[in-house]
Structure 1
Amino acid sequence: MRCEEVLTITGLSRSLYTLMKNSEFPLSIKLSERSVAWRRGDIQNWISNKIDSNN
Structure 2
Amino acid sequence: MGLRQIDIPAKERFMRLPEVMARTGLIKQTIYMRMAEATFPQSIKIGKTTVAWRESEIDAWIIDTIAESERRREQNRKQERKIERQRERERARQGETECAA
Work out whether the TM-score is over 0.5: yes
Larger Rg: 2
2:63 corresponding residue in structure 1: 48
Where in structure 1 do 4 or more consecutive aligned residues deviate above 6 Å? none
Q: TM-score, normalised by structure 1?
A: 0.96
Amino acid at match of 1:5: E
Structure with the higher fraction of residues in strand conformation:
1
Higher helix share: 2
Identity across matched positions, percent: 40
Q: TM-score by structure 2 length?
A: 0.53
Question: How many equivalent residue pairs?
Answer: 55
> How large is the RMSD of aligned CA atoms in angstroms?
0.5
Higher relative contact order (CA 8 A, sep 6+): 1
- CA positional deviation for 1:32: 1.0
Gaps of 5+ in 2: 1-14, 71-101
